[in-house]
Amino acid sequence: MSDKVIIRALGRCDYQLTYELMQQFTAARDETTNNEIWLLEHPPVLTLGTSAVESHILDAGNTPVVKTDRGGQVTWHGPGQLMVYLLLDLKPLRLTVKSLVRNMELAVMETLSPYGIQAKCRANAPGVYVDERKISSLGIRVKRGCTYHGLAINISNDKNAFSGINPCGYPGLDTVRVNDLTEEKSLDDVAKDLLPNLISNLNLKNHTQVFTSEHWQQP
């Protein structure tokens, strides 16, 4: 495996296209392929994981619905929500699926703590919560030991974004945004604070970080 990790700041991207690109990247990779982290946001979309029950969509309205191969139930993605896609080869990083999920959650919690947000995870309910309100969702797919999909953090999205679904398949589950709990943060602010925690928790500390946008220069 390469000793580089490519950080791609992609801006706002169509969900279906991004999904297909992740699949293509994972299918084509070999032992020399760099690990990558993609940072972006999507236009509004509802996505269904492999365990999704369509009755958990209460009212999609005009929002597109996309079936995916990630784990989990139904969720919403859209403007003001930071998407972090992790395209990783787990074995060289000494990560199992279980430890990957746990370390993703830890990275989010460590990022939110300096904002004064005391977040936690819940047994048998992947994601990160603040007082039982979900602030970050997780969903991954593993093929040949390599991952794609990743995590989402609610930052400044529409307060009513999740009103048309049972988030992650839980009727009545409330969601919360970073900017409900602290001084206003942009997606860039949170992404820059999250990256070092991801790098550390995902055992990428010895990898050279290569940024693909001038905006994402390494500190």
State the CATH number of the domain containing residue 34. 3.30.930.10
| Number of compact structural domains in the chain | 1
pLDDT at 218 over 90: no
pLDDT at 215 over 70: no
CB atoms within 10 A of CB 188: 14
What average pLDDT does range 189-214 have in this prediction? 92
pLDDT of residue 219: 42
Q: Does residue 182 lie in a domain region? A: yes
pLDDT at 5 over 60: yes
**The domain containing residue 72 runs over which residues?**
4-214
Nearest to 53 by CA among 151, 163, 168, 175: 168
Q: Is 168 a catalytic residue?
A: yes
Q: Does residue 59 lie in a domain region? A: yes
Chain centroid to CA 87: how far? 11
Residue where the block lists tokens 């209460």: 58
Q: Does residue 81 lie in a domain region? A: yes
- pLDDT tens-digit readout, 83-113: 999 999 999 999 999 999 999 999 999 999 9
Exactly one of 13, 121, 146, 168 is catalytic; name it. Answer: 168
CB atoms within 10 A of CB 158: 15
Q: Does residue 170 lie in a domain region? A: yes
Rounded Cα–Cα distance for residues 75 and 140 (Å) = 13
- pLDDT tens-digit readout, 31-50: 999 999 999 999 999 999 99
Q: Does residue 219 lie in a domain region? A: no
